[in-house]
Amino acid sequence: MSTRRRVVVTGVGAVTPLATGIKPSWDRLLKGESGIGPITRFDATGFKTRIAAEVKDFVAEDFMEKKRARRTDLFIHYALAATSMAIEDARLVVDQHNAERIGVVYGTCIGGMTTYEKNLAAFQEGGADKISPFFITGFIPNMALAEIAIAYGLKGPAQCVITACATGGNAIGDAFRSIQYGEADVMVSGGSEAYILPVGVAGLSRMGALSCRNDEPAKASRPFDTDRDGFVLGEGAGTLILEELEHALKRGAPIYGEVLGYATNVDGFHITEADSGNQARCVRLALADGGIEPEQVDYINAHGTSTPSNDVSETAALKLVFGDHARKLAISSNKSMMGHLLAGAGAVEAIFTLMAIRESVVPPTINLENPDPECDLDYVPNVARPMNVDVAVSESFGFGGSNAVVVVGKYRG
């Protein structure tokens, strides 16, 4: 532990179904407002699920030049916008002297499916000559990372993470490691997704993963509630600027909190069902990585998807890790208001976990009206709770059994 460098978060940015920007998104989150509504992106008539958590009133050209916006996919737009806000928030200036020490780890589950669908339709209608020359560079998953690096001239360590719904957490964790072990001084990290498309909604619906509460979209995502019937598909992006502590202090950067520990593992169990025992092991490993005892944790930002089995598994995992202390934890699910942002979820939720530490208030889990008897912990039902948060855990669990757990804490000099 003594050889590891301390890592803090100095900037954040997000595009969410609640708002563009952290402050307006956070304000709505604390008020318990939902960003879920009827699908407007396409005609969902005849679909079993006709609701989603869409990003509203987003203008790509507010964050990038028109030429870049035209040639890039929507998931890249969200990533660039979130990163622009985060870099400005961190007051980070990239130049020839530091570019090689600033890297980027960014992820997506799906990549540029908006671009893919558009070009597939053009090909089917008019043949090969109708394919855009920017099809491949708009579609492949690492292009959000690439466009971020190009926009700011970043030349440090880089990788694209794809671990389903654990992607955002893994991106933060991998960036954390790069700084801890001296590969970089600053890392841009996060995840982005734009998958509210006919094929996306249809595919997830056929799996039985999505809520069908079409007549009450604001009540459709209800983690840990008896009447939950699936998650709500969302979209958006979150970016965090991770920085080595002394580097941040030297330049007078703002500090949201400290990244204390991280762990990742895979269940090796099932493509969609979770293994609570292995999820618990991932949490234990992350706490141990940060030298944190379970009793020191105040708040859990739960994965909390609102799916029948996974909410039960997550609750069971928390009981295995925390024992009697599990009933003293404040636990909440941001997905009750934002839906599931897939790769963006872990990043945005980690930001909100840091906001809970910084602002001393925990966001609620809305729509928790009839708690599932198997989900019997304190999920901060329906109303935000003022409380001191010194140490918190952000959990991200993905299809295929991918798990990522990030432990963050209040920065203490």
120-140 CB burial, b ≥16 within 10 A, e <16: eebeeeeeeeeeeebbebbbb
Q: What are phi and psi for residue 306, nearest 5 degrees?
A: 80, 20
Cα–Cα distance for residue pair 296/317, rounded to 1 Å: 17
CB distance 304 to 221 below 8 Å: no
Q: What angle do CA 332, 337, 342 make, to 5 degrees?
A: 85
Q: What are phi and psi for residue 31, nearest 5 degrees?
A: -80, -5
Q: What are phi and psi for residue 224, nearest 5 degrees?
A: 70, 5
Question: Which strands make up the sheet holding 391-398, listed edge to edge?
Answer: 158-161, 102-107, 186-193, 236-244, 7-15, 257-266, 402-409, 391-398, 299-301, 330-332
Helix (H) or strand (E) holding 393: strand 391-398
C-alpha of 349 from chain center: 5
CB distance 155 to 241 below 8 Å: no
Active site residues: 165, 303, 340
